[in-house]
Structure 1
Amino acid sequence: MPIYEYVCKQCGHEFEELVFNGEEPAPCPRCGAKDTEKLMSACSAKVDGGGPNLEALQGSSCGTGGG
């Protein structure tokens, strides 16, 4: 079940909500308005061992469009 970010169009409050499949947009927890909008958000992931191995990427086609 994904967690989505919303903004309330009435009071401007931004909040996160756990959303089940097919569920309507979440009401604002601050003012109760149902006029909320889903925000685009970046995902994040933890990579074991830190960041990317830049040495392994050198000389590869990664990030160059495969050329």
Structure 2
Amino acid sequence: MPLYEFHCLDCDTQFEELVFSQTELPSCPHCSSPKTEKLISRPCRNKNSSSGADIPSMPAQSSSGGCAGCSGGSCATCGH
């Protein structure tokens, strides 16, 4: 079950949502508007990898203050 990032076109809020289909667009949890769009995530790359493989580096920060994996709890990965 993928977790996607969305943007509300009415109140400009960014949020994450667990969705079950690739075409599903959830309503905004802040203003309840159905006018949302799925955001395209940028891949992370560690350019200093000794093996030559692309390894994810620090996760992207979400709008809730933590990384995409912890959402702002006590996280050893991002330090939030």
Name the TM-score, length of structure 1 as normaliser. 0.61
- Between the aligned partners of 2:35 and 2:27, the Cα distance in structure 1 is 7
What pairs with 1:49-64 in structure 2 (closer than 5 Å)?
A: 52-53=49-50, 56-57=51-52
- Between the aligned partners of 1:28 and 1:52, the Cα distance in structure 2 is 38
Answer 1 or 2: higher relative contact order, Cα 8 Å, separation at least 6: 1
Q: CA deviation at 1:43?
A: 4.3
What pairs with 1:1-67 in structure 2 (closer than 5 Å)?
A: 1-21=1-21, 24-43=24-43, 52-53=49-50, 56-57=51-52
Between structures 1 and 2, the one with greater helix share: 1
What RMSD over aligned residues (CA atoms) do the two structures have, in Å? 2.6
Q: Number of aligned residue pairs: give it.
A: 51
SS of the equivalent of 1:31 reads coil
Name the TM-score, length of structure 2 as normaliser. 0.53
Unmatched 5+ residue regions in structure 1? 45-50, 63-67
Unmatched 5+ residue regions in structure 2? 54-80
SS of the equivalent of 1:17 reads strand
